[in-house]
């Protein structure tokens, strides 16, 4: 390995940086003494409502997320449960407007012709 010879300029630059760091640290220590007294804000005691404000960022997720689906769709005529309402298994949540389905049923009865009954006699086989 070859030894790298440091020039005089590099030594002076390193010495200057170390000195500048020591001087800067000394000035900072002198401006910020360790014996500074803590400062407190005081106010007279009053009676009133307590108000607390929480500021946060991020996404809010529910503890339990339940997907509710339906096999039919339509206009809701009565709503028995709202958002965050506690419901049990089998409880009626909403009632759909029956007029839509009654109209579809009546239309299908009108457009579908009656099918004739086809009764065919079965042949009887006697075996003996």
Average pLDDT over residues 42-61: 88
d(CA 17, CA 20): 5
37 is a domain residue: no
Torsion 84-87-89-95 (CA) sign: negative
In a domain, 105, yes or no: yes
Within a domain: residue 35?
no
The rounded distance, in Å, linking the Cα atoms of 30 and 24 is 10
Q: Is residue 102 part of a domain?
A: yes
The parent domain of residue 99 ranges over: 76-82+92-111
Strands (E), the chain: 76-79, 94-96
**Does 5 score more than 70 pLDDT?**
no
Give the percent of the chain with pLDDT over 70: 81
pLDDT in tens, 77-91: 899 988 888 888 888
* pLDDT top residue among 125 and 58: 58
Q: How many domains does the chain have?
A: 1
98 in a domain, yes or no? yes
Question: Cα–Cα distances in Å, from 87 out to 23, 62, 76, 94?
Answer: 71, 16, 18, 12
DSSP secondary structure letters along 94-119:
EEE-THHHHHHHHHHHHHSPPPPP--
Q: Could you tell me how far CA 125 lies from the centroid of its own chain? A: 73
Question: Residue 124 — pLDDT band, cuts 50, 70, 90?
Answer: low
pTM assigned to the model: 0.33
The answer to whether residue 3 scores a pLDDT higher than 70 is no
Query: Angle CA(77)–CA(78)–CA(79) in degrees, nearest 5?
Result: 130
pLDDT at 128 over 60: no
């Amino acid at each position: 390995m070859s030894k790298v010879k440091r020039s005089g300029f590099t030594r002076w630059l390193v010495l200057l940086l170390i000195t500048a760091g020591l001087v800067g640290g000394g000035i900072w220590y002198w401006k910020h003494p360790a014996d500074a007294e803590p400062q407190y804000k005081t106010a007279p005691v009053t009676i009133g409502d307590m108000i607390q404000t929480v500021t946060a960022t991020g996404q809010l997720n529910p503890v339990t997320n339940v997907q509710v689906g339906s096999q039919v769709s339509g206009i809701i005529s009565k709503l028995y449960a709202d958002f965050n309402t506690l419901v049990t298994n089998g409880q009626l949540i909403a009632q759909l407007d029956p007029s839509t389905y009654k109209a579809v049923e009546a239309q299908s009865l009108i457009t579908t012709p009656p099918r004739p009954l086809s009764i065919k006699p079965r042949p009887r086989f006697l075996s003996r």
